[in-house]
Amino acid sequence: MWTRRGILSRRPQNGARPGALTSCCAGALRAGTALCGLLAILSTGALPLWADEDLAKLLIEVKTLTGKPIDRASVVVKFVEGRSIVKFGKKIKTNWELRTNQQGMVKVPPVPQGKILVQVIAKGYQTFGQTFEILEEEKTIEVKLKPPQPQYSAHE
């Protein structure tokens, strides 16, 4: 039962007795013990996980001012407010770039409740951007895009 790395060796290495753990194996054993301890802490629920936070299902409807749906509009959703203990103080950054379907709708994957930024870009319409506060489990956001403004020239 010997290997080149020497996990359990029948041949003595550097004066070690047969069957003794080598330094390579002892280091792996210590790392494995630390990993088991970390898994025990996480499995007991000592640290709240991000999955335990309230998540919101979001549906965004993109329409013209007259109520006609706009298909293939680019929708960018950014989660902008919140912190997680599991992330050890780092700000949660959650971004999605999606496109609307033929009915002008897009379903966003579950996002943590809080403030989100929604940006909508569609050819032939003004770009839309607004921050929304999401406090419900399910929310539908209706976005109405305006037609482009006429060009203005200072030389006329």
pLDDT, tens digit, 9 for 90 and up, residues 112-153 = 888 999 999 999 999 999 999 998 899 999 999 999 988 888
108 closest CA partner among 117, 144, 153: 117
| SS3 call for 34 | helix
Q: Is the pTM of this model over 0.75?
A: no
In this structure, are residues 118 and 132 in contact, taking their beta carbons and an 8 Å threshold?
Answer: yes
Task: Report d(CA 90, CA 144) in Å as an integer.
Answer: 34
